[in-house]
Amino acid sequence: MLLLKNLNITVQEKEIVHDISLEIHPKELHVLMGPNGSGKSSLAMALAGHPHYQITGGLASFLGKDISRLSADERARLGLFTLFQKPPPIPGIPVASFIQTALQARSTKKIAPRTTRSVVASASQRFGLPGTMGDRELFVGFSGGETKRMELAILSVLGAKIAILDEPDSGLDIDGMKLIADEIVKYLQEGLGILFITHNPRMLEYILPNRVHVMIQGAFAQSGDIALARDIEHKGFAPFMPRV
């Protein structure tokens, strides 16, 4: 479904992600770990279609299509969802009207705003947010935790085939982490394929990944199963770092 083959990513003429290969299918959970600045978020942004992150080598294909030729919105409408670590506030736009427009962009049928409102209310509650969240201006004055929960609620409303979740657990307390872990399990059961980027191996106590990848200095240093994540929990990333 999402296939990356020897992928290189360049930012301002500097290659920062090298030779990444990966294949994610529906219902699969892939975990991407690595120290700060190792290129995890750059990979996420490039896959989302951020104009600053260019695919300069290899192949990125989604549903059999070369996504490097598609704009960010085309990728999103195909069903590739990238969760943002820090989405920008959009003043003056209530969450519900944003979601209304985003849903309408995916449908030729007219969607009743009233339906959207109730869908947004229940999705908010599913992620531990008040049902009135739809009236708030999008990400304006949201706390870190509210932002993460809202992003996941938006994913649940818009739907996707593959989701790249860039640290959805950061800034959350233990209850929040558990909630999100439970929801991720549900997403997987519903058929979503997930690339889960995290610093936090403990999150994986709640969800069993199919695959764990360790990214160091822009490249995959190793891939394995849950054992690899447990190793990192004990020893950190030092064993994967190149020796100077």
Query: Residue numbers of the site for other proteins (CB under 8 A)?
Result: 48-51, 71-73, 75-77, 82, 84, 87-88, 90-93, 98, 101-102, 105-106, 137, 154, 158
Mark residue 12 as left, alpha or beta (left: phi above 0; alpha: psi -120 to 50; beta: remaining): left
The rounded Cα 111 to chain-centroid distance in angstroms is 26
> In terms of CB distance, is 119 or 228 closer to other proteins?
119
**Residues 150, 72: Cα–Cα separation, whole Å:** 20
Find the shortest distance in angstroms from Cβ 189 to other proteins.
Answer: 24
**Residues 16, 31: Cα–Cα separation, whole Å:** 20
Find the shortest distance in angstroms from Cβ 147 to other proteins.
Answer: 12
CA dihedral for 66, 69, 71, 72, sign (positive or negative): positive
> In terms of CB distance, is 21 or 54 closer to other proteins?
54
Find the shortest distance in angstroms from Cβ 79 to other proteins.
Answer: 9
> In terms of CB distance, is 84 or 127 closer to other proteins?
84
Find the shortest distance in angstroms from Cβ 57 to other proteins.
Answer: 23
> In terms of CB distance, is 113 or 239 closer to other proteins?
113
> In terms of CB distance, is 18 or 50 closer to other proteins?
50
Backbone angles phi, psi at 192, to 5 degrees: -75, 140
What is the tally of helices (H) and strands (E) in the chain?
A: 7, 10
Find the shortest distance in angstroms from Cβ 138 to other proteins.
Answer: 8
Q: How many CB atoms lie within 10 A of CB 161?
A: 17
Using DSSP's 3-state secondary structure scheme, residue 154 falls into: helix
CA dihedral for 238, 239, 242, 244, sign (positive or negative): positive
